[in-house]
Structure 1
Amino acid sequence: MVDVSSRSLQVRLLILVFLAFIPALGIFWYANREFRNLQLEAKEDELIRRAEAVATEYQRLITEGELFLGTLSEFDEVRSTRFPTCTEHLARVLQHTDHFTFISVIGMDGYLACGSLTPESALFLGDRAYYVRAMSRQVFSVGEFSLGRVTGKPVLGMALPMGTEGMSAPILATSLDLNVLAIRPLGGTLPEGYTFSVLDPNKRVLVRLPQTGDFSLADSVGAIAGPEFPGPPEGGDAVIVTGTDFDGIERLFAVAELGSATGGTEGYLAIGRTRITLMQEVDEIVRLQLRFLAVGGVVLLALAWALGHFWLARCPPGAEEGEGAG
Structure 2
Amino acid sequence: MRLKLVAVAVAALAPVVTMLAYNEIALRHQRNEEVRASAAQAARQASSEVERIVEGSHALLVSVSAMPSVRHLDVSACNEALKSVADNIPNVSTLFVIGLDGRPVCGSTAFPDGVTFSDRDYFQQILKTRDFTVGTYTQSRLSDKHVLPLAMPLMEGGIFKAIIVSGIRMDWLQNRITERGIASGDTVTIADGKGTIVARVPDAEQFVGTAIPEAYQPLIHAEQPDVIEVASQDGTERILGYRPIALPSSPLYVSAGFSKREAFAPINRATLTNTLAIIGGALFSFLAAIFIGNRFILVPISRIADVMEKWRNGQTTARTGMTGSDELAVVGATFDRLLDELDEQRHQNEEAEEERILLVRELAHRVKNGFTLVQAIARQTFSRSDPERYNSFAERLAALAGTYDLILSREGSASSIRDIVSAALRAHVASEAERIRLDGPEVVLPADTALPLSLVIHELATNATKYGSLGSEDGTVAIAWKHEGGRVFLLWTETGGSPVSAPTKRGFGSVLIERAFPAKAQARSHSDFRPEGLVFEVIFSAGEPAAKGEVETSDRHMVHSSKT
TM range (shorter): 0.5 to 0.7
Q: Report the equivalent of 1:275.
A: 260
Contact 1:145 1:266 in 2 (8 A): no
2:247 & 2:103 partners in 1: Cα distance?
Answer: 26
Give the alignment partner of residue 235 of structure 1, picking from 218, 223, 247. 223
1:147-158 map, 5 Å? 147-158=139-150
Contact 2:134 2:151 in 1 (8 A): yes
Are residues 1:115 and 2:102 paired? no
Contact 1:243 1:253 in 2 (8 A): no
1:6-21 map, 5 Å? none
Query: What percent identity do the matched residue pairs reach?
Result: 21
Give the alignment partner of residue 211 of structure 1, picking from 203, 209, 220. 203
Task: For 2:161, give the aligned amino acid.
Answer: A
Deviations 1:110-163 (A, max 9, x none): 112222233443421122233333344443333344343334454432222223
1:195 & 1:172 partners in 2: Cα distance?
Answer: 34
1:184-195 map, 5 Å? 184=176, 188-195=180-187
Are residues 1:252 and 2:244 paired? no
Contact 1:140 1:161 in 2 (8 A): yes
1:101 & 1:150 partners in 2: Cα distance?
Answer: 9
2:172 & 2:32 partners in 1: Cα distance?
Answer: 29
Task: For 1:189, give the aligned amino acid.
Answer: G
Q: CA deviation at 1:38?
A: 0.8
Q: CA deviation at 1:63?
A: 3.0
1:33 & 1:103 partners in 2: Cα distance?
Answer: 56
Q: CA deviation at 1:182?
A: 5.3
The 1:199/1:67 distance shift into structure 2, 3 A limit, reads closer
Q: Which runs of 5+ in 2 are unaligned?
A: 1-10, 279-324, 327-564
1:83 & 1:260 partners in 2: Cα distance?
Answer: 38
2:84 & 2:247 partners in 1: Cα distance?
Answer: 28
Q: Which gives a bigger RCO, structure 1 or 2 (Cα 8 Å, sep 6+)?
A: 1
Q: Report the equivalent of 2:85.
A: 93
Contact 2:196 2:212 in 1 (8 A): yes
Q: Which runs of 5+ in 1 are unaligned?
A: 1-18, 295-307, 310-326
1:51 & 1:69 partners in 2: Cα distance?
Answer: 27
CA RMSD of aligned residues (A): 3.9
Give the alignment partner of residue 224 of structure 1, picking from 208, 211, 220. 211
Q: Report the equivalent of 1:6.
A: none
The 1:135/1:118 distance shift into structure 2, 3 A limit, reads same
1:94 & 1:114 partners in 2: Cα distance?
Answer: 13
Give the alignment partner of residue 78 of structure 1, picking from 70, 83, 88. 70
Contact 1:145 1:206 in 2 (8 A): yes
1:94-173 map, 5 Å? 94-173=86-165
Contact 1:146 1:206 in 2 (8 A): no
The DSSP-based 3-state class of the residue aligned with 1:169 is strand
1:152 & 1:206 partners in 2: Cα distance?
Answer: 16
Task: For 1:240, give the aligned amino acid.
Answer: I
